[in-house]
Copies of this chain bind each other. A is one copy, B any other.
Amino acid sequence: MWSCARFPCKLVRPMRSISLTAIEGIPMVKAGDDLAALIGDALDRSGLRPETCDILVVCQKIVSKSEGRVVHLGDIEPSEFAKSVAARWEKDPRAVELVLRQTNRIVRNDRGVIIVETGPGWVCANAGVDESNSLENDSAILLPVDPDASARRIRTGLRDRFGVDLAVLVTDTFGRPWRDGLTEICLGIAGMNAMLDLRGTADLAGRELHHTVVAIADELACAAGLLMEKAGAIPAVLVRGYPYQPFDGSAKVLIRPAEADLFR
């Protein structure tokens, strides 16, 4: 389970240490930019050579920008419903309209917070629509249409360039119930499984672990998040030393199915 393409035999080495390195010097990203090329160039300039089994974590914002997911609020005509919600909470009705257009189900709309389930199933505030860090004024950034596919494209681009198999995660910053403060989560993944399933393994007392499925993709997102300064132009981090089995993964396994979710 803890093996990796480089370490094909299981449990061949203890997990001793993991390094997280900020990839600096990625320029402002525009629609149509080739992210793998921009990240590859930044890696080259930094002298940081990716290796097979490294994990590249890329923040959603630059992925969305490269995919043209920036919307000018001036182009948005709010519905009457959006206007009424916006009036209630003193929000921009065009921004509310944009949120509603990404929404499959409104989970909560209370005290100025709009928590929704998006079309692809993410449950988050404002459908992940982001009004900060979009360089054009009066614009907002939407989530990528298919973040797994975004991750796969970056992975393929870096494999072609460096001849190595990385895993790639696309991550975003979400709030959560019960706990204050934002943390990073994984929206899209390529090259590894987003979960580590320990069910069937034994604990130290030899008792079988029944409930232990670890959301390692979210833990990796959080680890990388420590280096992604919000305003500091560090949109990508290289993780080295975390062994994993190469796998054609999807971040959708991180979405709790609605029928199993007691809080939706």
Chain B proximity of A72: nearest CB distance (Å): 14
- Contacting chain B: which of A130-138, A146-154, A161-169? A130-138
Chain B residues near A231 (CB-CB < 8 A): 198, 201-204, 209
A219 touches B222 (CB 8 A): yes
- Contacting chain B: which of A80-88, A96-104, A210-218? A210-218
B215 touches A230 (CB 8 A): no
| Interface check A207, CB cutoff 8 A | yes
Q: Pick the contact of A207 from B15, B113, B132, B203 — CB < 8 Å?
A: B132
B214 touches A182 (CB 8 A): yes
**Complex-state Cα separation, A18 to B196, whole angstroms:** 23
Q: Pick the contact of A220 from B182, B209, B226, B257 — CB < 8 Å?
A: B226
B209 touches A195 (CB 8 A): no
Identical subunits present: 2
- Please classify the interface of chain A as helix (H, G, I), strand (E, B), loop, or mixed, using the class held by over half of its residues: loop
B179 touches A215 (CB 8 A): yes
| Interface check A115, CB cutoff 8 A | yes
Chain B residues near A195 (CB-CB < 8 A): 180-181
Known: A176-B176, A178-B261, A180-B253. A19 touches B22 (CB 8 A): no
Q: Pick the contact of A203 from B20, B132, B194, B201 — CB < 8 Å?
A: B132
B230 touches A181 (CB 8 A): no
B218 touches A214 (CB 8 A): no
**Complex-state Cα separation, A28 to B203, whole angstroms:** 13
A180 touches B215 (CB 8 A): yes
Q: Which of A22, A111, A173, A231 has the most B CB atoms < 10 Å from its CB? A: A231
B179 touches A137 (CB 8 A): no
B230 touches A198 (CB 8 A): yes
A205 touches B20 (CB 8 A): no
Chain B residues near A124 (CB-CB < 8 A): 178
Chain B proximity of A12: nearest CB distance (Å): 14
A19 touches B16 (CB 8 A): no
**Complex-state Cα separation, A14 to B225, whole angstroms:** 15
Chain B proximity of A118: nearest CB distance (Å): 11
| Interface check A21, CB cutoff 8 A | yes
User: Which B residue sits closest to A225, measured CB to CB?
Assistant: B219
A177 touches B177 (CB 8 A): yes
